[in-house]
Structure formats: structure tokens, C-alpha cells
A and B are shown apart, each in its own frame.
Chain A
Amino acid sequence: MTTLPESTETKLGLVIDLDTCVGCHACVVSCKEWNTSNYGAPLSDIDPYGAEPEGTFLNRVHSYEAMPETGCSQTVHFPKSCLHCEDAPCVTVCPTGASYKREEDGIVLVNEADCMGCGLCAWACPYGARELDMLSGVMKKCTLCVDRIYNENIPEEDRVPSCVRTCPAGARHFGDLGDPESDVSKLVAERGGMDLMPEQGTKPVNKYLPPRLKDRPSEAALEPRHEDPSGLFAWLDKALEKI
């Protein structure tokens, strides 16, 4: 059993805009690419060229289709990675102390040297956001690119998680959700940002901006002023004189 910090003043996290996410998987692959050769063990791929390739990803996009009672089908693209919960059950369940939540910024990390790959944390996480790497035998999860966001070898404007930097539609935002004046907190307030599965009591830091209502076609119609071409031509001659 590992303890959580009582609270963290800084709460770094992601705000993901489900209205804008087109489901392109850019964040998924950029995350894999950065994290496989940076923090901790590589994100390995088993059977990458065979029948059932299966690798470790820290971020995946699922698409869900729903058919409302009236109107047409709605599809939401739903990117999912660790939500860096304030009450993170993956930390408290960890028998070795490998899983921990940082007091300084709230990031939930795994200290791979202490991880024995027991998988309890993945079982405890209600979001399925952790993946045991089959090759290295250690638990992998989103680090919020902890090795990017403070990295003085990276230009200041790029000190954001790789998924945020790469997102073509601008659907991913990074910042301090503990600061009500931060851009991300304001965005959450403006757009009604939501917790994922709040009933789990995990108090996730990451927020999702809900899709706007769609498919409300107007009932407008143009007034037909000219039923046949000759009417149009007569109007047009007059209208042209005014130009």
C-alpha cells in the first residue's frame, strides 16, 4: 500500500475536446514514439509483423457510435490515457511503492526499478489506463511526458506532452488544473468540462470537453421570388442597373 500526497497545489493534466477530436490517432502514435525511446523501458511490440500484433500504448483512441431516439447516429472519438487522479487507486494498491503521485505537480508515475509487474494497479484503475509491457515486465502509463514538460533542451513553447504538441485538430490542451486562472481551467469552465466516471471517486485531474449538440438542421427556406427563368431575368436586369 502506497500513500498519496494529501493534496497537490499544482495539478498538471490534459483537457481533451471531444467536440473537435476527429479520431485520427496522431496523439496515440506520437505518444508511443516519444515514450518508447525516453522515460523508462521501451513500449514494446509483441508479434509486430505476425497474426496478432500487440504492443504497449500509453494512449489509445476509441470511437463510440450512439443512435439517439430521434435524429441520426452520433460518433464520438474518445482518446484515453491516465487521468492523473487525485485519489488514484492505482497508487494506493501498489505493493512495492513503485506507483506514486508526485506532490509537486500531481503527476502519477511508475518507478520502474521498484515495479515487479504484478498488475494490481492496472486491475485497480477503473479506466484501463495502464498497460503491462510484456517484454520488460514493468507497468507503463502516461507520464504527461514528464521528460518533456520541464526539459530545458526543448524550446519553451514545446514543453508540453507530445500528444498535445502533435494534435492536428488542436483538441488536446495541457496545463495546471489546480490554478483556476490557467487557460485549461478557463476552458473547462467555459465548455462544461467533465470528469470521466466521477462515481468512481477517483477525482481525475484530466477533463473532457463534451461534444456540442449536432444535427439540428435549420428549417429555413429561401423565398422563391422567381418561379420561372423569365421572372428571374426581369429582376436581374433591374438589379444589374444598380451595380
Chain B
Amino acid sequence: MAISEDKAPARPSPKVSDEVRKTTCYMCACRCGIDVHMQGGQVKYIEGNKDHPVNKGVLCAKGSAGIMQHYSPARLRAPMKRTGPRGSGQFEEISWDEAYDIAESWLRPIRESAPEKLAFFTGRDQSQSFTGFWAQAFGTPNYAAHGGFCSVNMAAAGIYTMGGAFWEFGQPDWERTKMFMIFGVAEDHDSNPIKMGIGRLKERGARIVGVNPVRSGYNAVADDWVGITPGTDGLFIMAMIHELLKAGQIDLDYLTRYTNAGFLVNCAESGPNKGLFLRSEEGKAQVIDRATGKPADYDAPGVKPKLTGHIRVAGETYRPAFELLAETYMSDAYAPEAVAERCGIPAARIRALAADLARVAFEEEIVLERPWTDWKGERHETMTGRPVSFHAMRGISAHSNGFQTCRALHVLQILLGSVEVPGGFRFKPPYPKPPEAHPKPHAGAQPGQPLDGPHLGYPMGPEHLLLDEDGNPKRIDKAYSWENPFSAHGMMHMVISNAHAGDPYKIDTLFMYMANMAWNSTMNTSSVIDMLTDTDENGDYVIPHFIYSDAYSSETVAYADLILPDTTYLERHDCISLLDRPICEAEAAADAIRWPVVEPDRDVKGFQSALCDLGARLGLPGFVNEDGSQKYADYADYIVNHERRAGVGPLAGWRGEDGESEGRGAPNPKQLERYIENGGFWMSHIPEEAQFMKPWNQHYQDWAVKIGLFDAPAPYVFNLYLEPLAKMQLAAEGHGAQQPPEHLRARIAETMTPLPQWYAPFEQEAFADEDYPLHALTQRPMHMYHSWGSQNAWLRQITGVNKLFIPGKLWEEQGFEEGDWAYVTSPHGRIKAPVARMDGVNEKTIWTWNAIGKKRGAWALEEDAQEATQGFLLNHLINELLPPKGDGLRWANSDPVTGQAAWFDLRVRIEKAPQGGPSEPALDAQESPVGTGPKTVAYGEEF
């Protein structure tokens, strides 16, 4: 048959676009660099930026679906005030002036009388150093972002133990590691770097071990899958430590030099010093010097600490922390046989994995011929590497024993000598940074005044808790109280619940940004909706005012009174700052910007710019000039001109009036232009001799000071033994000026052990296994980032319905068949959901994809969207409180150390339900203030 002349040319070479604009992705929190191809003023194509340190050119499904996010029909169009009852979705669009007038009318009186009546929480905010600055200027103690319901256990355990954690704090040495173990890794976190790393390990023939109740994604490609029972990772890790200790397979040189293994611990049965370190008069922790047998400062040059023995001082016995550690983990309670059943892992498997770790760490050690000088001035000709590395995320973190589990994982890494060494785990600037170098938390609120310091930080003992004179929490979320003393990221999941209960006090205005707190970003969704809509005896809302900023018509928009519409990520300025959560690599410091590659076509404004305006209207210090005029015209102005310390601002690149300085330097009015010219980011490499052993490496410390990460070198040792927890235990025993309430003493003593110990998750302990025999979990699909991703026209075609996955054995026992539905019941509630069989899952665990289910009417989807009719949330089953204990108290369902939301402690039972939807609870629809999306899309037609 004749072939027409319309065939493609042999070597077609069409123009790709008019222009490429390089910015930073925000389709999730990973902060990859993107090349945005523009044609005719429209976004034509988005690809990864090849020069960018995070993604090096690759881009995930979310990133490539950015076009559909940017042009989403759910985008809000203008500020809105609520006209119907909360939850109705009835709004009127208003001007920014009117919106600011309303906000000011609520906020000004609060600031002048009781600033704590504002609760300002900012969700998945990447501008926390800015939003925190605003909240501090306002004067409320009630500020945090979403870390408390995300992975604060992982972050805080890392900081307290070794001065840094996984993800943006550090990374495996992808080029050298030979065995990589991942624990509970959600597939969206550090999305592209982990995938790139796994690909690289596969290419090099390195071994990957996945520890996760569910075998999907990374765990599917892992060489070995360990399908652990949820909440028992700590036991498994401690059993491996047990094996290593019994075999003497630990890095003694590393432990004596770089950890507090030799620090002398007071071993009195009781008394005010029990569990504390022996310290010199100057406060220096003491070790037994092997040369003299006498106590000496741990950091004195030439001192080599003993790890065994004891010493008596002032009538009390002191022993090196290592002895206590060995006694703890060599006990029979942590023998593989003792933990196997509970973990769902055969003892032989635990022993084999411990043996594999030891073999790779010690028999396959790496030696780099790279001379360096340590903090005590000792010169080393080589760097010795232990090529085993680890990564962990929410799976081990989101339990009420998560802090100690995460600590245990770090203890394992440290015993193997595999942190900050070639082949092991490496920090990214501004880490390493020990807990002492972080701020302490502040909550000193005074009418009309800024807060007395930054909100969040790392307490080192009871003296840093945020309690009033009566011992009550100063913060609405009760962070830094005896209930959760080290809640370093705040406790966003408790804000609405506590504000509704007036516990510890009532608030006036709830102000939130980018957190779908009335839906998938909260525990206990149905009840939270009730709390937001509840009225008092006068018919007024119990939480009087709710201001919310979002770019899209989310579920939470419907429950707010005033909406400040945010832009899409392609329409805004942002800085991915070294003051916050930058984009550094193990061998480089780096930061980045977003800039408006497209101007908004709606009456919307970047939330941070709105805060600049609102801050000026309220006359907040830092937001007004001396004459009272507005200091920062918008967020871009702040990014360039704000100085946190002299010469140190949000962005480290191209500082100084001439733009030639790095790290430190005066503001440069052309700074953003320089970032844009450079592809949206700045990067400065760490000198080669400073790239490993960073906490103890003089070169690194000097470089960090030069670049402005610290103001003086701050070398430190790792905390195998965590003395601040011993201080909490001492308080629980009645010592010290600050005393916990009676009802918490036993729990503090049990859970705040200075060496990580395993205890059963609280909610699991509260109910009989027979009543709720199953664990229930969620994971995020790799191609979505909570409800942002599941509204996307392209991504929702990949996963539009989430099934509840049921392990094969249980599936057969209960006689499930394809197409069935089930009721899932927890102690707190019941849902109805469609089910599917899966064999690659722990046999006591059911699970589903997170944040697919949507409320009818939200996100500009049609009311019969599959996400609303078949999709579902497990959140309805998870209470933010533990079951009542009969003492009239509200016990948070959170980690007792950090306050991390214990999502994954959930226990349930399932039974067959009548076939067919809708999924339950089937809540009433909300009206869409932006209508619904088009019936067809043919994107690209115009090009």
C-alpha cells in the first residue's frame, strides 16, 4: 500500500521549547532540580536538572507530572472568606486587603493580650526558618511544622546519638558501601537519591537487605527481604547487637576514639548522681586513662580511655558506659531465640544477618590513602572504612517505641564503626552537629512582645522543658512537657485535639499552612472534623478562628474561616536554605531556590510573601523598618536581605556586595539572579581531606566555620549512652528541682533508658491480641506525595483506588475473594474498604496506600471520583489519644520521648463486608469553591 508523505522525517529535530528555566521541584519534599521548558509562556515539559546535586538529571513520576499539578483545576483563585458553616465549602472570594483586614482583626488583639492564643503550624513547609522567625516575632510559643507526625523519632534519635540522621542529614557512601540495610523506608522519602543509590549498588553488585513488613518497591528489588512484625525492629536490631558483642565483632578503636563508650557512669543504686557521668570541676566528662588508670578529661590529647573496669570517687562507683551497654545487650532477653517469634524472623536468620554485617564491616574493610588530622591534633595517614550502611524512615519511627528503636539502629552503626567512614553512612552539611550545638526550646510569651528565643530545639535535661510555674505545658501541643520531653519537631497531630479540649488551655486562632489536617494529615480524621465544627453553648465554634493557606481546594480548606491562597511551586520564590533543610551532599554544601518560572494568573500569593505583608501590618519586629514601614516587600526580598547572624542569611551562595563570597558576606542585591544563572542552586565542595570523619576532622571543622555553618569548631563524640535521658529518669525518681507529675514517673523511668531498650508499643499493650490480632499500616506510593499527588490527573490514573492488602494465609482463612470488601475495626472505629490479596507481607499485618481516599467535593474532583467512592483512609481508625485509663487524663498516642505520632502502633481486626462501595465512613460532600475539572484533557495540543 502506498505510504503517504506525512511520515516523520528520518531524523526529526524539532525545537523543544522557547526557553529552559531551572528551578526546584516541590512535587514532594526531596527538592530535586528541574529544567522547566517553556513555550509560548506555558510549561511544556519538565525534566531533571543534570547538574543538580540531588537528582543529577533524573526525575520521578511526581516530578514529571508537575504540569498537571501546576495547571490543576483545584487551584484556588483568590482569598476567600467562609459564608456557610464550617465544612460546607461555601466561600466568597475577597480581595487580599480584606483578607488581611480579617486576619489582623483576629491576630492583633491576641498579640496584645495573650500571644499563645495563636497556634501557628505549617505542615510540609520548606521555609521553616522563615515561618519560625515570623512566629517568634509574633510571640506565640505555639509553632512547629509537620515533623511530629512524620519522622521526628528518626531525626531526634539521630541528632541525640550521633549529631545527624538519615535523609537530608546524611546518606550512605553509595560508591563504596557493600551491604546496605533499609528499615521501614517509605518509598517517597529521599525519593530519587535512594533509587539512584539502589541502581548504583545493583550495578556494583552490592547487597541490599530490606527490613519491612511489606515487600513492595525497594523491598521487592532487595536481595533479601525481612518481613518483620511492626513495632519489633528494636528487638531485631538489639539481637544483632547481642550477636556482635558475644563474638567480639565491634570496632574497638572507633569506640574508644569517637564515642562516649569510655565515659564513666555513676552506678549507684540510687541518689542524685545515678546514671550521670563523672565530670571534672569544669564539667568535662571523665574516662579512665589506660596509661595512668586515673580519671582524665575525655578529650585531652593522648588520653586513651578504658572501656572496662570501675573506679570509686567520693564513695560512689563509676563504670565505663561500654560495660553497661555490653551487659544490657548480652542479656538473654536480646538473644535471637528470645526475640524471634515476636519479630516474626527466625533466630537463624537474625544470626546470619549479624554475621554478614560483621564479615563485610571487618573482613572487607576499606582503607583510603587520605591523610587527615583529628580534633586532638593526631595525624592519620589513612581513613579506615566499614562498608556497611543503613537507611531508615517512618516504618521504625512512627511507633511509641520509635525513638529507642531509632537509637538502637544508630548504636548498631556505631558499634560497627560505620558512621562517617568510607563505605558507611556519611553526614551532609550542616551536619554533623551534636544536640548541644542546637538551640534550646523557648516558650516565653509576653503580651506584645516577641518570643524569648526559637521555638524548637534539643533539651539536655529537665531544666529545658517548657513548663509553667505549676508544671503545666506551655505549648498547646504539650511539646517539651513531661509527657514528651524531647519533642524536637513539636506535635502537630495534637494541636486541634488539645485546642478543642482546652487542654492545657484554649486558643483563639488556628493558623495553618500546607497540611491537610482535616483529612489525611491527621490521626482520627472523623473526630478532628467534629472538633473543627463543634460549637459551644453560645453556638460559637469551640476553636473560634481558623486561617488556612493552601494552593488547592483540599479537604481542610472547607473547615477554615479565611483562606490565603498559595501559588503553585512554579509560581513562587523559595529558598532551600542551610538554615533549614538544605540540599547538601556528603561532599558538598549546597542550597537552592525556587523562582516564578510562570507568573500566577490568579489572585494568589506565595504564603511567605503573605506573611511578610501580615507581619508588617501587625508591626512585628523584623518585619517593619524603624519608621514602621514594611521591611520586606515579599519573600524574595527577605531571602536576599535577611541576615540571621551578621553576614549569614538564608542563601549561602554569591554573598557580599560583589557576589564573590560563599557562606558569609553582606547581602547581595543580585543574589537571586546569580542563582538563576547557575541553574537554581549553589554548591561548594568540601576539601578532600575533610570529606570523612567529619565530627573529629580538624579540616572539616575549620571548613565549616569558614563557610558559616558554625562560629567555632565543635568536635564531639557519639552518644552510645544518652545522659539527658538519665537525667529524666533521675527526675522520675524524685531528684532535682523539676519534678514530673506522679502519673508519669513510672513511664519515664521505663521508657527513657539512657541505653536503648525495647518495650512494647503502648496501644498494642492496651488491648488483647485476640480482639485486635492484626497490625495495620500505610505506605505512600512512590508516584504520589499524599493528597497533592492523588489529585493529579496523570498520577490518579496510576493509582486511583487503594485496596487493603491482606496476607495470603489470612485471605484464605477468612475466605476472601477478588472484588470483596471488608470491615476493618480498631479499638477506635470502623471503616469499610475494598480488599486484595498479597503474599509479600508480614502475616500479622494488613496495609494500604496512604492518602488516596478523598472527601467528596474536594480537590475539584467530581463527587463520584473513585478516590471518594472506593478510596479510603486508615486515619479514621487511629486515635490521637491512648484509650482512657480511668484517671481522667488525655494520654497522647505518641512516643513518650519525642511525641512522634504513633501511627503504626494501630491494631485491628477484619471481617468480610457486603460487596460493593461506597467505602466508609462516607462523609457528606463539601461544595467546591473552584468547580470541577474539565471532562477531557489533551495537554500539549497547543504546542
Contact = CB atoms under 8 A, between A and B. Distances in A.
Interface of A: 1-2, 17, 19-26, 28-30, 32-34, 36-39, 41-55, 57, 63, 65, 67, 72-77, 95-97, 100, 102, 104, 109, 111-114, 135-136, 143, 146-147, 150-154, 157-158, 162, 165-171, 211-212, 214-229, 232-233, 235-237, 239-241, 243
A45 B794 contact: yes
B192 interface: yes
A46 to B, nearest CB: 6
Interface string B33-75: 0000000000011111010000101111111110100000100
Per CB-CB distance, the 3 closest pairs between chain A and chain B, nearest first, are: A37-B940, A49-B933, A73-B840
A46 B937 CA distance: 7
Given A45-B797, A111-B4, A104 B224 contact: no
Interface stretch (B242-250, B609-617, B661-669, B901-909): B242-250
B290 interface: yes
A23 B215 CA distance: 12
Contacts of B3: 2, 97, 100, 111, 114
Nearest to B196: A168
Interface string B506-535: 000000000000000000000000000000
A226 B2 CA distance: 84
A146 B14 CA distance: 10
Interface in B897-943: 932-941, 943
B352 A217 contact: yes
B287 to A, nearest CB: 12
B936 A48 contact: yes
Interface in B595-647: none
Nearest to A61: B798
A170 B199 contact: yes
B351 A25 contact: no
B150 interface: no
Contacts of A112: 6
Nearest to B791: A49
Contacts of B73: 49
Contacts of B862: 49-51
Contact of B358 (A74, A222, A235): A222
Contacts of B938: 36, 41-42, 44-45, 135-136
Interface in B267-293: 290
Contact of B60 (A26, A48, A135, A239): A26
B307 A240 contact: yes
Given A37-B45, A45-B793, A223-B247, A168 B192 contact: yes
Given A38-B14, A47-B935, A50-B864, A220 B356 contact: yes
Contacts of B224: 214-217
B196 A170 contact: yes
19 contacts: A22-B195, A29-B795, A33-B46, A36-B939, A36-B940, A37-B45, A50-B862, A57-B797, A63-B220, A73-B839, A75-B215, A77-B221, A136-B938, A146-B8, A150-B12, A168-B196, A214-B222, A223-B247, A232-B330
B869 interface: yes
A77 B794 CA distance: 19
A197 to B, nearest CB: 22
Contacts of B782: 22-25
B47 A162 contact: yes
Nearest to B17: A153
Nearest to B330: A229
Contacts of A113: 4, 6
B121 to A, nearest CB: 30
A49 B199 contact: no
A229 B327 contact: yes
Interface in B201-251: 202-203, 215-218, 220-225, 227, 243-249
A114 B4 contact: yes
Contacts of A170: 196, 199-200, 203
Contacts of B308: 233, 236-237
Contacts of B225: 72, 214-215
A72 B840 contact: yes
A228 B308 CA distance: 14
A60 B196 CA distance: 20
Contacts of A157: 50
A170 B860 CA distance: 36
B16 interface: yes
A224 B332 CA distance: 13
B7 interface: yes
B936 A221 contact: no
B349 A166 contact: no
B798 A28 contact: yes
Main SS class of interface, A: loop
A118 B200 CA distance: 44
A149 to B, nearest CB: 9
Interface string B1-42: 111101110111111100000000000000000000000000
A236 B327 CA distance: 14
Contact of A166 (B59, B290, B841): B59
Contacts of A20: 198-199, 202, 221
B102 interface: no
B93 to A, nearest CB: 21
Interface in B338-354: 348-349, 351-354
A216 to B, nearest CB: 8
Point out which of A63, A217, A239 has the most chain B C-beta atoms below 10 A from its C-beta.
A217
Contacts of A97: 1-4
B629 to A, nearest CB: 45
Contacts of A162: 47
B866 A51 contact: yes
A35 to B, nearest CB: 8
B796 interface: yes
A62 B48 CA distance: 24
Given A29-B64, A37-B939, A214-B224, A24 B246 contact: no
Given A97-B1, A153-B15, 17 more contacts: A1-B1, A20-B221, A29-B62, A34-B45, A45-B793, A45-B797, A50-B932, A51-B864, A55-B937, A67-B839, A96-B1, A153-B13, A165-B57, A236-B248, A237-B306, A237-B309, A239-B248
Contacts of A151: 12-14, 16
A28 B61 contact: yes
B326 A233 contact: yes
A147 B797 contact: no
A222 B866 contact: no
B936 A218 contact: no
A153 to B, nearest CB: 5
Nearest to A222: B247
Contacts of B800: 53
Given A29-B794, A65-B839, A217-B349, A166 B64 contact: yes
A85 B818 CA distance: 35
A24 B838 CA distance: 19
B55 to A, nearest CB: 8
Contact of A243 (B12, B256, B793, B936): B256
B60 A24 contact: yes
Contacts of A26: 58-61, 63-64, 783
A51 B869 contact: yes
B829 interface: no
B926 to A, nearest CB: 15
Nearest to B227: A72
Interface in B310-353: 323, 326-327, 330, 348-349, 351-353
B861 interface: yes
Contacts of A109: 7-8
A240 B198 contact: no
Given A26-B60, A49-B861, A225-B247, A150 B940 contact: no
B383 interface: no
B922 to A, nearest CB: 15
B749 interface: no
Contacts of B936: 44-48, 135
B47 A224 contact: no
Contacts of A37: 44-45, 939-940, 943
